[in-house]
Amino acid sequence: MIKNVSTALKSSSDNFCIFIDPSITRQENMPSNKAPFNLMKTLAETERIADSFSALLNEALSKPNFWKRPFIQVKDRYDGISKSLRRISAYIRFIHRCTTILEAESKLHFAQEA
């Protein structure tokens, strides 16, 4: 899940940087047989998992006593991880939205000049 968020952030940032400086080239280290990266699908899946953290922790706390102690100790940390992932996801969506708007406005500007 952390790797997915990291990949989404890199993809979003790369798209923005390529838009700002077209001389930058995208360096894909993806094998040719691998499906292309879907930013929005990855973010939605990560958000869904982060949303389920509290339910998973509550379920773990309802298990026998030998489970309770370790989960009680880390429950707050998992809540923090969930909140951090949601915040990072929101930032990635913001970068993606800004890049999309800038690209559209640039195309419109160039079309009006032509």
**DSSP per-residue letters across 47-114:** HHHHHTHHHHHHHHHTS-HHHHHHHHHHHHHHHHHHHHHHHHHHHHHHHHHHHHHHHHHHHHHHHHH-
The answer on pLDDT for 6 being more than 70 is: yes
The pTM of the full predicted model, rounded to 2 decimals, is 0.61
Quickly state the pLDDT bin for 33 (edges 50, 70, 90). Answer: low
Kindly report the average pLDDT of the chain as a whole number: 76
The answer on pLDDT for 32 being more than 60 is: no
The answer on pLDDT for 94 being more than 60 is: yes
Give me the pLDDT at residue 47, please.
Answer: 84
